[in-house]
Structure 1
Amino acid sequence: MSLKWTDSYDIAIELSEAYPDTDPKFVNFVDLRNWVLALEGFDDDPEHCGEKVLEAIQMAWIDEVS
């Protein structure tokens, strides 16, 4: 499965599995971006990521662990 920046829900699932002890409410966007880029299966241009994309991923991650 190839993940893109627009796959915020799927990315959130992967992040919740990779970082089970992390509260996504307290993750800064620099770390979040780096963690997404490091996910196995992530295949998108790092330059296509902005604050709104990261916010959507963070919100999906918060929903996933709630």
Structure 2
Amino acid sequence: MKWTDVEEIAIQLSDAHEDVDPTQVNFVDLMNWVLALPEFDDDPGHCGERILEAVQQAWIDEVA
């Protein structure tokens, strides 16, 4: 998975952190959790605020 796989990242985060409200996650934790996903394989330097916002919104949509 790469940073551009926003929907898949959101699905995996939802599965890995079922008890977490995605609206309450800060970007530092969010980035670390994405990097820790087993299938994630991308450069942390390619991540920015816009990508993290997109991941967070996709996660919110996933659990809604």
- Settle same-fold status: TM greater than 0.5: yes
**SS of equivalent residue, structure 2 residue 4:** coil
Q: How many Å apart are 1:64 and its aligned residue?
A: 0.1
Instruction: Indicate the percent of aligned positions where both proteins have the same amino acid.
Output: 69
Who is 1:4 aligned against?
Answer: 2
Who is 1:25 aligned against?
Answer: 23
How many Å separate the matches in 2 of 1:8 and 1:21?
A: 20
Cα deviation digits, residues 15-58 of structure 1 (max 9, x gap): 00000000000000000000000000100001000000000000
Q: Which runs of 4+ in 1 moved over 6 A?
A: none
Give the count of matched residue pairs.
Answer: 64
Q: Which amino acid is 1:17 matched to? A: D
| TM value normalised by structure 1 | 0.96
Q: Runs of 5+ in structure 2 lacking a partner? A: none
How many Å separate the matches in 2 of 1:41 and 1:60?
A: 18
| TM value normalised by structure 2 | 0.99
